[in-house]
Chains A and B, each alone.
Chain A
């Protein structure tokens, strides 16, 4: 049960992330898939639903900062 393991996990956007919006990502963690409130790591990117992202920061309890996993 090490929460630090969240960083570096891959997730999928289920609620659009953007400035002024609170997004949502599903991340496989603790043997299941949980959703976390998500924010863009650089603060200005807009990430649509379905995009694969990587968690770069985890703020307990349920907030993560993400960035695009693949440059597109």
Chain B
């Protein structure tokens, strides 16, 4: 029994497994990137109108009758085609364009049906086909563009591509996701030349910028060097300053010992000096007490005594002076009174004497007047007489000058001879060489000299008479003297 159960169970399991295997064979699932194209049965034309005889399943499972229906898969994956096309631009410039076209089968049933009919057995060749299509179209597209458009106006390129290829690819059931131009080879160097001005400008700008940057960098560098030098200098200055401070401190530290010694010694010396000073002070004080104070006292005593003595003497002298002064005053009074009396007496005597003298003088004057008058009278009479005589003599002279002169010579002869002899009077010792004769000669010469004077007198008289001047008259007083009156004419002539 159990055996039967086991067999039944085994059979059931096998049956289940067989059913599962059968279902597995019949059930097909379309993956997201593929479409199932099922043909062979006409009773279900899902998704498509009748007429084509196959159905398309995407994204789900479907039951397929093995042996009755055929299932084919069409990949909806992305495909790409490398393009390498020699073409000529609108300007006639040959270019080689290399690019890539990215395309896929359209997702709608129409596109899948179109593509399935065209590529179901040639999915590997799809790229080649597309390449051929695009190569021709790209030539025409590039032929309608210039190089500048191709490089700069991608929108235009894309638009042209879409216009030319879009409908073409629509027929194939494909859609173009992207057309990329990778590279434009330029055998004539057109693009390079086209880029050259800009490249040169860019290069120029770059060089300018580089030079400017170099300049700025150099400036900054030099400034930095200057700053570094400055910093180094400052640092060295500071270091030198600190070194100097260290040296100073070191020197100070080194000198601290000797300095302390010196300070200590100085303190000792100061204290010693202080001691010496104190001793000197004490000694001085002692001397003051021992010597000076007694001396001062003595001196004071002496001085006091001397002063007292002096005061006493001064008082004595003053008293004496007073006494003398009083005595002198008394004497003076006495003398003055005596002198006054004497003067009075003298004056009285003088007055008496003067009166007597005046009386005497008056009497004498009267007598003298009388005598004078008498004498004058007499002189007058004598003058008149003499004048008379002179007049007479003048008359006589006028008549006979020679006689008068001779007479006068004769009258005066003794004086003349006396005068001539007076010449010898001064001779102390006269030597006469000729004896008596010699003596006679000398006297003769002396007399001759008198004669010469006579001649001279004559000449003078003559000259006087020639001038018509009368001989001057003599004053009565002169005429009073007899000898003098005789000499006057001689001297005046």
Residues of A within 8 A of B (CB): 1, 3, 15-16, 21-24, 30, 32, 34-35, 37, 60-63
Within 8 Å CB of B155, what residues of A? 16
Let me know if A37 and B162 touch, CB within 8 A.
Answer: yes
Let me know if A37 and B159 touch, CB within 8 A.
Answer: no
Let me know if A34 and B158 touch, CB within 8 A.
Answer: no
**Could you list 21 A-B pairs, sorted by A, with CB under 8 Å?**
A1-B47, A3-B109, A3-B110, A15-B159, A16-B155, A22-B159, A22-B163, A22-B166, A22-B167, A30-B107, A32-B107, A34-B107, A34-B175, A37-B162, A61-B108, A61-B110, A61-B114, A62-B106, A62-B108, A62-B170, A63-B170
Residue of B47, B58, B109, B167 touching A37 (CB-CB under 8 A): B167
The answer to whether the Cβ of B173 comes within 8 Å of any Cβ in the partner chain is yes
With most chain B CB atoms within 10 A of its CB, the pick from A3, A35, A37, A61 is: A61
Distance A61 CA – B177 CA, assembled complex (angstroms): 16
Residue of B108, B158, B170 touching A3 (CB-CB under 8 A): B108
Distance A37 CA – B175 CA, assembled complex (angstroms): 9
Let me know if A62 and B159 touch, CB within 8 A.
Answer: no
The answer to whether the Cβ of B485 comes within 8 Å of any Cβ in the partner chain is no
Nearest CB of chain A from residue B111's CB, rounded to whole Å: 4
Within 8 Å CB of A37, what residues of B? 162, 166-167, 170
In B336-354, which residues have CB < 8 Å from any A CB? none
State whether A62 and B162 are in contact (beta carbons under 8 Å apart), knowing that A1-B47, A22-B167 are contacts in the complex.
Answer: no
Within 8 Å CB of B162, what residues of A? 15, 22-24, 37
Within 8 Å CB of B163, what residues of A? 21-22
Distance A10 CA – B47 CA, assembled complex (angstroms): 24
Number of residues from B at the complex interface, CB < 8 A? 20
Within 8 Å CB of B107, what residues of A? 30, 32, 34
Encoded as 1 (CB less than 8 Å from any A CB) or 0, chain B from 176 to 198 comes to 01000000000000000000000
In B116-174, which residues have CB < 8 Å from any A CB? 155, 158-159, 162-163, 166-167, 170, 173
Distance A22 CA – B397 CA, assembled complex (angstroms): 208
Known: A1-B47, A15-B159. 17 other contacts (CB 8 A): A16-B159, A21-B163, A22-B159, A22-B162, A22-B166, A24-B162, A32-B107, A34-B106, A35-B175, A37-B162, A37-B170, A61-B111, A61-B114, A62-B106, A62-B111, A62-B175, A63-B170
Identify the closest chain A residue to B176 (Cβ). A35
Let me know if A15 and B158 touch, CB within 8 A.
Answer: yes
Let me know if B158 and A60 touch, CB within 8 A.
Answer: no
Distance A16 CA – B153 CA, assembled complex (angstroms): 14
With most chain B CB atoms within 10 A of its CB, the pick from A34, A60, A62 is: A62
With most chain A CB atoms within 10 A of its CB, the pick from B114, B175, B177 is: B175
Distance A24 CA – B158 CA, assembled complex (angstroms): 11
In B20-49, which residues have CB < 8 Å from any A CB? 47
Residue of A15, A21, A61 touching B173 (CB-CB under 8 A): A61
Distance A63 CA – B169 CA, assembled complex (angstroms): 12
Distance A3 CA – B158 CA, assembled complex (angstroms): 27
Distance A24 CA – B109 CA, assembled complex (angstroms): 20
Distance A15 CA – B111 CA, assembled complex (angstroms): 21
Encoded as 1 (CB less than 8 Å from any A CB) or 0, chain B from 362 to 401 comes to 0000000000000000000000000000000000000000
Let me know if A1 and B109 touch, CB within 8 A.
Answer: yes
Let me know if B106 and A61 touch, CB within 8 A.
Answer: yes
Within 8 Å CB of A61, what residues of B? 106, 108, 110-111, 114, 170, 173
Distance A61 CA – B105 CA, assembled complex (angstroms): 11
In B410-438, which residues have CB < 8 Å from any A CB? none
Within 8 Å CB of B177, what residues of A? 35
Distance A63 CA – B170 CA, assembled complex (angstroms): 8
Within 8 Å CB of A15, what residues of B? 158-159, 162
Within 8 Å CB of A32, what residues of B? 107
Identify the closest chain B residue to A61 (Cβ). B110
Distance A22 CA – B175 CA, assembled complex (angstroms): 14
Nearest CB of chain B from residue A62's CB, rounded to whole Å: 5
Within 8 Å CB of B175, what residues of A? 34-35, 62
Distance A16 CA – B162 CA, assembled complex (angstroms): 11
Within 8 Å CB of B170, what residues of A? 37, 61-63
Identify the closest chain B residue to A49 (Cβ). B155
Distance A27 CA – B29 CA, assembled complex (angstroms): 27
Distance A37 CA – B161 CA, assembled complex (angstroms): 12
In B79-125, which residues have CB < 8 Å from any A CB? 106-111, 114
With most chain A CB atoms within 10 A of its CB, the pick from B47, B107, B110 is: B107
Distance A61 CA – B158 CA, assembled complex (angstroms): 21
Identify the closest chain B residue to A18 (Cβ). B159
Within 8 Å CB of A22, what residues of B? 159, 162-163, 166-167
Distance A45 CA – B203 CA, assembled complex (angstroms): 46
Within 8 Å CB of B166, what residues of A? 22, 37, 62
Distance A37 CA – B163 CA, assembled complex (angstroms): 9
Within 8 Å CB of A62, what residues of B? 106, 108, 111, 166, 170, 175
Identify the closest chain B residue to A36 (Cβ). B175
With most chain B CB atoms within 10 A of its CB, the pick from A16, A32, A34, A60 is: A60
Shortest beta-carbon contacts, A-B, top 10 = A61-B110, A60-B110, A22-B163, A61-B111, A37-B166, A22-B162, A62-B170, A22-B166, A1-B47, A61-B106
